[in-house]
Amino acid sequence: MALSQSNLMCFDPYAGRIGSHLLYPPFMTHPTPSPRAIVIPFGEDERLDLRDVVVAFKAMSDDTFGAWSLLEYTLPPRTDGPPAHCHRRATEAYYVVEGTLRFVAGDQSMDIGSGGFVLARPGLTHTFANVTDSTTRFLMFASPGGIERYYDGLAQLLLLEKDLAARRHAPYEELGLQHDHYPPE
């Protein structure tokens, strides 16, 4: 049998059956799924420059029906990441592509080199940084999706604040609470 566009589409054996809506979480269903791949050539992704830290959006929650988001971080040498925080709902996975990422989970600090992986489950207080003299790049997978909305809000706040050291904490904390970023408990 020759392959065609019609027989390459995924088949849902439960579609239309009584109770089929119970098999999949609501974010996994979509009324008209597209059988097309989303391809983003190198350098053509959406990017935010957050004061020298570059966040590139590879897959956003709208692309995955809310299931997950994928970001690529570029941290310049000697750059801190976010303040220590935790998520109540989100799971985050980190894969180091280049350089070394200092990952702090609770009271543990570990340096993760290229090819290394970290899984941060909900409730884990964590942060990260680049403590080396080289650039660090890593992928961050977040589930459920939507973390890109947090970064959009963060970029807006940073545009309003000229001096990062003098920033008022209240707007940042409010943004975090809106997007499942909580201070350590």
- pLDDT, residue 127, reads 93
- Give the pLDDT band of residue 78 (cuts 50, 70, 90): very high
Whether 21 has a pLDDT exceeding 50, the answer reads: no
Query: 62 — phi, psi (to 5°)?
Result: -65, -30
Q: At what angle do helices 147-160 and 169-178 cross, to 10 degrees?
A: 170
Whether 17 has a pLDDT exceeding 90, the answer reads: no
DSSP state of 38: P
- pLDDT, residue 175, reads 63
Whether 183 has a pLDDT exceeding 90, the answer reads: no
Q: Is residue 30 one of the residues assigned to a domain?
A: no
Number of domains, the chain: 1
H-type alpha helices, the chain: 5-8, 147-160, 169-178
Q: Is residue 183 one of the residues assigned to a domain?
A: no
Domain that holds residue 62: 46-178
* Cβ atoms of 85 and 127 closer than 8 Å: yes
- Give the pLDDT band of residue 179 (cuts 50, 70, 90): low
Q: Is residue 126 one of the residues assigned to a domain?
A: yes
| Distance separating alpha carbons of residues 45 and 162, to the nearest angstrom | 26
Number of H helices, E strands in the chain: 3, 10
Residue 62, classified by CB atoms within 10 Å of its CB into exposed (0-12), middle (13-18) or buried (19+), is exposed
Q: Is residue 8 one of the residues assigned to a domain?
A: no
**pTM of the predicted model, to two decimals?**
0.73
The residue behind tokens 């980190």 is 94
Whether 22 has a pLDDT exceeding 70, the answer reads: no
Going 22 to 23 to 25 to 31, the CA torsion angle's sign is: negative
| Distance separating alpha carbons of residues 177 and 174, to the nearest angstrom | 5
Q: Is residue 2 one of the residues assigned to a domain?
A: no
Q: Is residue 6 one of the residues assigned to a domain?
A: no
Question: Percentage of the chain surpassing pLDDT 90?
Answer: 34
- Residue 147's domain is classified under what CATH number? 2.60.120.10
- pLDDT, residue 169, reads 63
Q: Is residue 159 one of the residues assigned to a domain?
A: yes
pLDDT in tens, 150-178: 777 777 777 666 655 555 567 767 766 67
pLDDT in tens, 99-150: 999 999 988 999 999 999 999 999 999 999 999 999 999 999 999 888 788 7
Q: Is residue 74 one of the residues assigned to a domain?
A: yes
